[in-house]
Structure 1
Amino acid sequence: MHRTALRKLAALAPFLLLTACAGSQSTTKVTADRITGDWAGPHGEKFTFAADRTFTASGLDSKNLTDALCTGKPSRGGWAFYVAEGRNTEIGEKAAKSGSWIGLAFHGAAESCRIDLAVVDGGKALCATDDADAPCGLDVKFTREP
């Protein structure tokens, strides 16, 4: 391969890698009232988010969530938007009024469930993920139920 072509490829490689890792899904910042309500996934997964920052869930044992150790039984917990606390550190903050990533804290037997939700599609969907670099990493997208 010609040296000029190699230099061009080397210059493009970081951008190609970034594009491949980032995927085509971008997140959207929304207010808490856009999260409250009932959300359903494609295989019977369900979340109901309340304004008091609690949630109920069921059906989270679907094929794509198996590795996240979630149970299919009804479960409960708390939710919060992630906020930056410092350089490269984010925490779930119940007082946050808006955000694009939702941290979930399961209670009881479901505590082993390790997923978060990313707000995508302009706030019309929530994607399950276990990777901060891949908003829809678990390939389960929740949409608001009518």
Structure 2
Amino acid sequence: MHRTALGTLAALAPFLLLTACAGSLPTAKVAADRITGNWAGPHGEKFSFAADRTFTASRLDSKNLTEAMCTGEPSEGGWAFYVAEGKNTEISEKTAKSGSWIGLSFHGAAEDCRIDLAVVDGGKALCATDDRDLPCGLDVKFTRQS
């Protein structure tokens, strides 16, 4: 290889590693009370999770979430942690007291929105994904708001 090509490859290597790992953050198991409250994404996306396992959402029409068929219209639905039901099988269970993956069930006009949320950063963030193998697969990270 030419020195210029090697230099370019060396300069790009850190960026390629970051890109390859962007969706693979480790998940963290948290109690339900750590999920309740208001969360915001980087482009104005918002979720508000209630203790009764309902949620409201708005502005889920950012580029990465529209690919998962989400809309920008205010929406609502139910949330639950995923729990193991058997070998290689998980279901969302409204009575689960803790978990690391959150299943969302949208109602009304947003019912086609197909995302789950992974609890990451030790419970400090929620990542949107449409692929359980990639916790931050849609590259939208929500953080708790005061």
TM-score range (shorter-chain normalised) is 0.7 to 0.9
In structure 1, the residue matched to 2:84 is: 84
Q: How many residues align?
A: 127
- Displacement of 1:74 after TM fit? 0.3
In the alignment, residue 39 of structure 1 is paired with which amino acid? W
List, as ranges, runs of 4+ consecutive aligned residues in structure 1 with deviation greater than 2 Å: 20-24
The whole-number CA distance in structure 2 between the counterparts of 1:144 and 1:79 is 16
In structure 1, the residue matched to 2:71 is: 71
> Which residues of structure 1 form unaligned runs of 5+?
1-19
In structure 2, the residue matched to 1:140 is: 140
Q: TM-score, normalised by structure 2?
A: 0.84
What are the superposed Cα offsets for residues 2-42 of structure 1, whole Å, 9 maximum, x if unpaired? xxxxxxxxxxxxxxxxxx68954100000000000000000
In structure 2, the residue matched to 1:98 is: 98
Asked if 2 retains the 8 angstrom alpha-carbon contact of 1:58 and 1:75, the reply is: yes
> Which residues of structure 2 form unaligned runs of 5+?
1-19
> After the TM superposition, which residues 1-146 of structure 1 pair with which residues of structure 2 at under 5 Å, given as runs?
24-146=24-146
Q: TM-score, normalised by structure 1?
A: 0.84
The whole-number CA distance in structure 2 between the counterparts of 1:73 and 1:126 is 20
Computed over aligned residues only, the root mean square deviation of the Cα atoms, in angstroms, reads 1.3
- Displacement of 1:88 after TM fit? 1.0
Asked if 2 retains the 8 angstrom alpha-carbon contact of 1:22 and 1:133, the reply is: no
The whole-number CA distance in structure 2 between the counterparts of 1:140 and 1:78 is 20
- Displacement of 1:53 after TM fit? 0.1
Q: How many percent identity over aligned positions?
A: 84
The whole-number CA distance in structure 2 between the counterparts of 1:84 and 1:78 is 19
What are the superposed Cα offsets for residues 107-135 of structure 1, whole Å, 9 maximum, x if unpaired? 01110000000000000000000000000
SS of the aligned residue for 1:47 comes to strand
Asked if 2 retains the 8 angstrom alpha-carbon contact of 1:21 and 1:134, the reply is: no
In the alignment, residue 111 of structure 1 is paired with which amino acid? E
